[in-house]
C-alpha cells in the first residue's frame, strides 16, 4: 500500500495539484515569506543607482492584503511567490516586489486620492486602500473590471471605485490626484494624466515599447506645476491597449 501511494503520488498531485485546499497556517506562512522576499529584493535592486528599502507602512499594507484572493483558483498555491501570475484575458497580476516598489514611490499619506490605470485583479488597488488612501481605478477589459469590482466589494475595500474605461483619459471628475499609477506599459506618458496630477503629486509609469523592457518612470509635479521625470529601472509590463485614438 505504501509503495502504491509513493507510485501514485505524482498522479494524485497532478489531479489535485495547485487546486488542492491549502491550510490557513500555510497561507499565513507563505504570506510572511513573501513580505521577507520583497524586503530582500529591495536590498539587491538598485533604483536609479541607489538602494531603495520599502517603507514599513507599505510592507504592512502588503501584509494585510490576501493575494490569494486575487489570483485564479488554479494558481492559488503560487499566490505568495514573488512573481507575476496570469489572471486571464492575457493579463497578469504584477510581481509583489513591483507592487511594493511602485506603491512606495508614490509617497502617499492617509486620506490621499490615487488614480490607477489598469485594475486587473484589483490587488494593487487593495494594497493602496490598505494604506488608507482612496482609489479610483479603471480597467479596459470589461470582464476583469466586473470581476475586480465584485472581488473588492466582497473583501470590503469600500475606498476603491472600479470603472470599466480607457484609463488614458484619467478621471477628470475626481481629479486632481495626489498619486497616479499606471500598471501597464505605455508608449508615452498620457498628457491627460499629467494634467490630473496635483501640484506636489507623483505618478509612476512603465514607459517603453510593447513586449520589450520598459523603464519605470517617476513623474513629479512641483508645487509651481513644473513637471520632471526620472527613469528608475528596467521593467516588463503587459502593454496598455486603447479603445480609440486620443
Give yes or no for residue 101 binding ligand SAH (CB under 6 A).
no
Pick the catalytic residue: 32, 55, 94, 223?
94
Task: Rule CB under 6 A: choose which of 35, 58, 65, 93 binds ligand SAH.
Answer: 93
Residue 131 sits in the site that holds ligand SAH (CB under 6 A): no
Binding of ligand SAH by 241 (CB under 6 A): yes
What residues numbered 56-75 form the site for ligand SAH, per CB under 6 A? none
Q: Which of residues 149-208 bind ligand SAH (CB under 6 A)?
A: 166-168, 183-184
List beta partners, residue 47. 50
Among 95, 103, 113, 121, binds ligand SAH (CB under 6 A): 121
Residue 16 or 195 having the CB closest to ligand SAH: 195
User: Is position 214 an interface residue for ligand SAH (rule: CB under 6 A)?
Assistant: no
Q: What residues pair up with 117 in beta bridges, in sequence order? A: 138, 182
Q: How far apart are CA 71 and CA 54, in angstroms?
A: 23
Q: Which residues have C-beta within 8 Å of that of residue 96, sequence separation ≥ 6?
A: 34, 37, 38, 62, 67, 80, 82
C-beta of 117: minimal distance to ligand SAH in Å?
Answer: 5
Q: Which stretch binds ligand SAH (CB under 6 A): 18-26, 116-124, 201-209, 218-226?
A: 116-124
Q: Of the listed pieces 10-18, 20-28, 117-125, 201-209, which binds ligand SAH according to CB under 6 A?
A: 117-125
d(CA 163, CA 190): 18
The piece of 8-16, 61-69, 72-80, 238-246 that touches ligand SAH (CB under 6 A) is 238-246
103 binds ligand SAH (CB under 6 A): no
Binding ligand SAH (rule: CB under 6 A), the pick from 112, 139, 147, 171 is 139
Instruction: Let me know if 77 is a catalytic residue.
Output: no
Is 92 a binder of ligand SAH (CB under 6 A)?
yes
CB 136 within 8 Å of CB 157: no
User: Which residues are within 8 A (CB) of 53 and not within 5 positions of it... i.e. 6 or more apart?
Assistant: 39, 42, 43
- Taking CB under 6 A as the criterion, the residue among 102, 105, 219, 240 binding ligand SAH is 240
101 by Cβ neighbours in 10 Å (0-12 / 13-18 / 19+) ranks as buried
- The Cβ of residue 30 has, within 10 Å, a number of other Cβ atoms equal to 17
Q: CA torsion, points 154, 159, 163, 166, in degrees to nearest 10?
A: -130
Which of 230, 192, 195 is closest to 50 using CA atoms?
Answer: 230
Q: How far, rounded to the nearest angstrom, does the alpha carbon of residue 104 sit from its chain's CA centroid?
A: 12
Q: Which residue ranges make up the site for ligand SAH (CB under 6 A)?
A: 91-94, 117-118, 120-121, 123-124, 138-141, 144, 166-168, 183-184, 238, 240-242
Residues taking part in catalysis: 94
Amino acid at each position: 500500500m505504501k509503495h502504491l501511494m509513493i507510485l501514485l503520488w505524482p498522479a494524485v498531485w497532478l489531479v489535485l495539484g495547485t487546486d488542492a485546499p491549502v491550510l490557513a497556517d500555510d497561507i499565513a506562512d507563505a504570506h510572511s515569506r513573501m513580505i521577507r522576499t520583497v524586503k530582500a529584493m529591495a536590498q539587491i535592486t538598485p533604483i536609479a543607482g541607489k538602494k531603495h528599502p520599502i517603507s514599513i507602512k507599505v510592507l504592512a499594507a502588503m501584509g494585510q492584503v490576501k493575494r490569494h484572493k486575487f489570483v485564479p483558483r488554479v494558481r492559488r498555491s503560487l499566490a505568495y511567490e514573488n512573481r507575476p501570475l496570469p489572471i486571464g484575458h492575457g493579463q497578469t497580476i504584477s510581481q509583489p516586489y513591483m507592487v511594493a516598489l511602485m506603491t512606495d514611490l508614490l509617497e502617499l499619506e492617509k486620506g490621499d486620492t490615487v488614480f490607477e490605470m489598469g485594475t486587473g485583479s484589483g490587488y494593487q488597488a487593495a494594497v493602496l486602500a490598505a494604506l488608507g488612501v482612496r482609489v479610483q481605478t479603471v480597467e479596459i477589459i470589461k470582464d476583469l473590471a466586473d470581476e475586480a469590482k465584485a472581488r473588492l466589494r466582497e473583501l470590503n475595500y469600500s475606498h476603491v471605485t472600479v470603472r470599466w474605461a480607457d484609463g488614458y483619459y484619467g478621471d477628470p471628475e475626481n481629479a486632481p490626484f495626489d498619486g497616479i499609477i499606471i500598471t501597464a506599459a505605455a508608449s508615452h506618458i498620457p498628457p491627460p494624466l499629467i494634467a490630473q496630477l496635483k501640484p506636489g503629486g507623483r505618478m509612476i509609469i512603465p514607459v517603453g515599447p510593447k513586449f520589450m523592457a520598459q523603464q519605470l518612470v517617476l513623474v513629479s509635479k512641483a508645487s509651481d506645476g513644473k513637471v520632471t521625470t526620472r527613469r528608475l529601472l528596467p521593467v516588463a509590463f503587459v502593454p496598455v491597449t486603447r479603445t480609440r485614438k486620443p
